[in-house]
A and B are shown apart, each in its own frame.
Chain A
């Protein structure tokens, strides 16, 4: 169901089915609405239910199911690190031998201050890096220091790595999964 496997890898996407065994709820439409955020009113789920023409309990049940099924990675307060003074943000990429990537990824994930850690398809010779981590800090030195400590703790001192600090944010919106408010495909 798209949940995290014990080995830390994301299950086969083809097996992921966020559909809900509940004809009252269109999961895509509900997710699309939820990605815009929960309203700040006493009964926010009832407000969303009203917009979608379904019941408050339908929304709560469907959301619980989507979280359990793994389609929703996180549900909660989405903070803006930049606004909170985390002005040094870096994507750190590591060139680790293929057979060691999963172990290294799991070890990095256990370190603090890492918001994302995952493996992507490498494209050698242009881009040999397969292991990615996002690290946020209040200064470049703080981020560089953390990268150093992660390398030491995870046995990655020898690995070629690059720290790609963010310079400018041109666009940041919720993802496009093709659902409109009406639930149709765009």
Chain B
């Protein structure tokens, strides 16, 4: 993407939380930034197209709606592609990353209930033949509150 100019930066930094709950939210943002509503809409569309913005939406706090866990597998390097594809294919898996070290494959599993979550983990263990490390959250100190990208 092209480098974000000051107005883009403000759009990306200031509205990660507390998005206006107003029938015309983009007009409220425009008022705060001193520009027009159409300008805000155009820029947000451009930032979305360029991939800088994933979406304007909600993140759910873990375990308030349904159940979730972080799980990990220690995959032999030669099998990583295949195992990662098998894990990604599971509907309940919503994040799946390769990380350095061991274990090397980390994924987040969410489901409407803990039994259904357990069933998904068992399916992954059975399909891959690897023991699944199940690391459920116990307490949150700072949960996806967004953070300042430039004003640090």
Determine the main DSSP class of B at the interface with A: mixed
Known: A10-B140, A72-B60. A80 touches B94 (CB 8 A): no
Most buried by A among B48, B58, B62, B142: B58
- B-contact 0/1 string along A161-184, CB 8 Å cutoff: 010111111111111111100000
A31 to chain B, nearest CB (A): 7
B128 at the interface (CB under 8 A from A): no
B12 at the interface (CB under 8 A from A): yes
Known: A176-B92, A176-B94. A164 touches B100 (CB 8 A): yes
A37 to B59, CA, bound (A): 10
Do B87 and A170 touch across chains, with their CB atoms under 8 A apart? yes
Do A77 and B53 touch across chains, with their CB atoms under 8 A apart? yes
A102 to B140, CA, bound (A): 9
Do B94 and A175 touch across chains, with their CB atoms under 8 A apart? yes
Do A79 and B144 touch across chains, with their CB atoms under 8 A apart? no
**Set B50, B55, B96, B110: member contacting A171, Cβ < 8 A:** B96
Known: A45-B23, A113-B152. A74 touches B97 (CB 8 A): no
Residue of chain A at shortest CB distance from B150: A84
A159 at the interface (CB under 8 A from B): no
A165 to B101, CA, bound (A): 8
- A-contact 0/1 string along B98-133, CB 8 Å cutoff: 111101101110111100100000000000000001
For A, the interface residue count at a CB cutoff of 8 angstroms equals: 84
B107 to chain A, nearest CB (A): 8
Do A77 and B139 touch across chains, with their CB atoms under 8 A apart? no
For B, the interface residue count at a CB cutoff of 8 angstroms equals: 85
Chain A residues near B68: list those with CB within 8 A. 175
A-B CB contacts (within 8 Å), total count: 277
**Set B18, B21, B64: member contacting A60, Cβ < 8 A:** B21
Do B135 and A76 touch across chains, with their CB atoms under 8 A apart? no
Do A102 and B53 touch across chains, with their CB atoms under 8 A apart? no
A136 to B144, CA, bound (A): 12
A20 at the interface (CB under 8 A from B): no
A77 to chain B, nearest CB (A): 5
Q: 7 tightest A-B contacts by CB?
A: A37-B55, A178-B112, A109-B142, A175-B110, A105-B141, A2-B64, A9-B139
Q: Show 11 A/B contacts (Cβ-Cβ < 8 Å), sorted by A.
A: A40-B45, A43-B23, A75-B19, A75-B57, A76-B19, A115-B146, A118-B140, A127-B103, A164-B101, A165-B99, A166-B97
Residues of B within 8 A of A (CB): 1, 4, 11-12, 15-19, 21-27, 37, 41, 44-45, 48, 50-68, 70, 72, 84-85, 87-88, 91-101, 103-104, 106-108, 110-113, 116, 133-149, 152
